């Protein structure tokens, strides 16, 4: 009996390292890491006419955990935010590297850094861990949102180290379903408030009975003042 391709590749050891290509041209450790990302909690980012925002489901149900210690959306700089899906400890390394890069840029050039430079640095670091032996790939996808000269921008980097600019995007659990909804309903002239309402409707539709607004975290950056604002739980409805 012929062995399935996945089992054959495992038997031949092609998944033992991220530096070995399978006969089909795949890096199996990298593909396994991509599956890990889809087990992470969902985040939606959206470029709007008056700014940019990210809304994330923290999936924190334990009453003993202090919610502020489990933030899903991170401040990279005063005008840049980020969210990650996958292994949280992996994302912490990348987020701290991005924060340091922003600080160094302000000290050196006395100006805010462009969001694309941040995601490029993160993507380069990810790519290195798919090319050199002795370490596994980062099991995390990172979404960066920020303001560049009053222009709102969103970038997403995957496990392989690729990155793209988006009008709207989703990472984490059910990202394919969320993206399908965004392709159908997203419009570039949406305001931040309208975009947040759309994102909540999509999360509620995709997650069904599992949706709980109290678990959600929202951070948005207005393009006029380029300052981030954080809102959590039921307070999002008031916005």
Grouped pLDDT means (10 residues each) for the chain, 239 residues: 56 69 81 89 96 92 80 95 94 96 96 96 93 85 96 96 97 95 96 96 94 93 92 84
pLDDT for residue 238: 78
Class of domain 5-232 as given by CATH: alpha beta
pLDDT for residue 11: 43
209 burial (CB, 10 Å; 0-12 / 13-18 / 19+) is: exposed
DSSP string of 54-107, one letter each residue: EEEE-----TTS-GGGG-SEEEEETTEEEEEEE-HHHHHHHHHHHHHHHHHHHH
pLDDT for residue 131: 84
pLDDT for residue 7: 57
pLDDT for residue 1: 41
pLDDT for residue 233: 83
pTM of the model: 0.90
Q: Give the C-alpha distances (Å, rounded to integers) separating 72 from 50, 64, 85, 151, 216.
A: 23, 17, 9, 24, 9
pLDDT for residue 5: 61
Q: What angle do CA 237, 238, 239 make, to 5 degrees?
A: 90
Q: Say how many CA atoms lie within 13 Å of 120 toward its Cβ.
A: 6
CA-nearest of 178, 122, 118 to 153 is 118
User: CA-CA distance, 187 to 16, in Å (whole number)?
Assistant: 44
- CB neighbour burial string for 35-65, b if at least 16 within 10 angstroms, e if fewer: ebbbebbbbbbbbbeebbbbbbbbbbeeeee
């Amino acid at each position: 009996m012929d062995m399935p391709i996945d089992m054959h590749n495992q038997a031949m050891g092609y998944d033992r390292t991220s530096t070995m290509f399978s006969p089909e041209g795949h890096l199996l450790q990298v593909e396994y890491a991509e599956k890990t990302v889809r087990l992470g909690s969902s985040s939606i980012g959206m470029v709007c006419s008056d700014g940019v925002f990210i809304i994330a489901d923290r999936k924190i149900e334990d009453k003993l955990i202090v919610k502020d210690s489990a933030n899903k959306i991170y401040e990279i700089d005063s005008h840049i935010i980020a969210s990650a899906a996958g292994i949280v400890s992996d994302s912490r390394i990348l987020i701290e590297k991005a924060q340091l890069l922003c600080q160094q840029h302000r000290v050196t050039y006395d100006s805010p850094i462009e969001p694309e430079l941040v995601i490029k640095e993160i993507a380069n670091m990810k790519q290195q861990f798919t090319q050199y032996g002795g370490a596994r790939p980062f099991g995390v996808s990172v979404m960066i949102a920020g303001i560049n000269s009053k222009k709102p921008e969103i970038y997403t980097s995957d496990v392989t180290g690729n990155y793209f600019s988006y009008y709207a995007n989703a990472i984490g659990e059910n990202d394919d379903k969320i993206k399908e909804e965004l392709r159908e309903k997203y419009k570039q002239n949406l305001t931040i408030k309208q975009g947040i309402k759309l994102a909540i409707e999509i999360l509620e539709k995709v997650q069904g009975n599992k949706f709980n607004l109290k678990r959600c975290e929202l951070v948005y950056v207005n393009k006029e003042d380029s300052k981030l604002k954080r809102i959590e739980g039921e307070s999002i409805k008031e916005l």
